[in-house]
Amino acid sequence: MADTQPTTTRKIGTAVTAVLLGGTVVAGALVGQNTNANSLEPTAVKALQSAGITGVDVSFKGREAYLTGQGATDAQLQQAKQVVEGIYGVRWATISGGGGATPPTMTLQPSPPPTDTPTATATPEPAPSTPEPTSIEPSTPAPSETPAPAPSETSTAPTTGLTADQVSQINNTVVTFANGSYSLSAAAKQTLDAVVPLLAQSSVNVTIDGYVSLPHPAGQETADSTRRAQAVANYLEAGGVDASRITVVGDGSANPVGDNATYAGQAANRRATLTVS
């Protein structure tokens, strides 16, 4: 009996310690969630006001946004959803209550090519070449007995603040979109997160080209491709890139990189690209 009592006491002490530690972890998680909500909600409200959207309320649970608007139209709610999803740090936005429900994603089924006449496939144009960083050597070197050393590939160009490797990384960034979608997916935001800090800390100008795949509703190619490019631009601005350095271009179905007669080719063509200058 003398050995039983200390063992029982130790077991009770261990259980109490586990309960206290569990409560601390849960409380810490709740505090982190509230911190995300408290920091993102004012930013979302300001972004909606800047976009001229009224009658739409936004609230957060962690990094997830919830939109409501009793007096708002479906178009206003969809526009608000796109603006909020473009804020740096927001995981996704959901429309709940008021207005209309989120419209289903438009699915465009490609028509099979005729068996007797093959479908003409546009030859993909080469991807835009990577602009060379501004040379730090004068066009006409001053006479010197010792020639100046050539700049290394990783040297920083003083007019841009980016290295050649960083310029190449930005120019090779491609963001793809789901069929009928003009909002950034979680994967697209993760892709942009790798280059947003580079653009924000530099002084370069960036052109964003948006594209659509075929078939596409007639007369909507330019407008819809511009919407995709603008979604990327909004995300860059939210990450600290000056809007005056961003140019948005809607290229419609031009410059396809895939065969529009296949699903894989269409998925590759629904994209937005970045080019710095």
Query: Residues 182, 87: one domain?
Result: no
Q: How many domains does the chain contain in total?
A: 2
Co-location of 66 and 170 in the same domain? no
* DSSP character at residue 162: -
**Nearest of 105, 101, 85 to residue 93 by alpha carbon:** 85
Two tokens, residue 257: 């990189």
Q: Residue 76 in 3-state DSSP?
A: helix
* 233 and 246 Cβ atoms separated by less than 8 Å: yes
- DSSP letters, 163-207, are -HHHHHHHHT-EEE--TT--S--HHHHHHHHTTHHHHHHS---EE
Provide mean pLDDT across the span 133-145: 49
Beta strand 92-95 with 57-61 is unpaired
Structure tokens at 107: 């699915």
Predicted local distance difference test score (pLDDT) of residue 81 = 87
CATH number of the domain within which 26 lies: 3.30.1340
Final residue of a structural domain among 76, 95, 114:
95
Place of tokens 């998680």: 29
Q: In whole angstroms, what separates CA 57 from the centre of its chain?
A: 23
Q: Per the domain annotation, does 135 fall within a domain?
A: no
Residue 130 lies in a domain: no
What is the arithmetic mean of pLDDT over 163-178? Answer: 96
Q: What percent of the chain has pLDDT over 90?
A: 42
The pTM of the full predicted model, rounded to 2 decimals, is 0.49
Residue 229 and residue 213 in contact, taking contact as beta carbons nearer than 8 Å = no
Residue 156 forms part of a structural domain: no
Give the end of a domain, one of 67, 95, 123: 95
Q: CATH number, domain at 196?
A: 3.30.1330.60
What gap in Å lies between CA 31 and CA 24, rounded to an integer?
11
Domain contains 121? no
Question: Same domain, yes or no, for 268 and 180?
Answer: yes
39 in a domain, yes or no?
yes
Task: Answer yes or no: is 219 within a domain.
Answer: yes
Q: How confident is the model at residue 65 (pLDDT cuts 50, 70, 90)?
A: confident
Domain boundary among 95, 117, 145: 95
* Paired tokens of 170: 């930005």
What does the pLDDT read at residue 25?
35
Q: Is residue 60 part of a domain?
A: yes
Residue 49: domain span: 18-95
pLDDT per position as a tens digit, 5-39? 454 445 545 443 443 444 443 334 444 455 577 88
Question: Cα dihedral sign for 183, 186, 189, 191?
Answer: negative
Q: How confident is the model over 185-230, as pLDDT tens digits?
A: 999 999 999 999 999 999 999 999 999 999 999 999 999 999 999 9
Residue 98's pLDDT is 53
Within a domain: residue 51?
Answer: yes
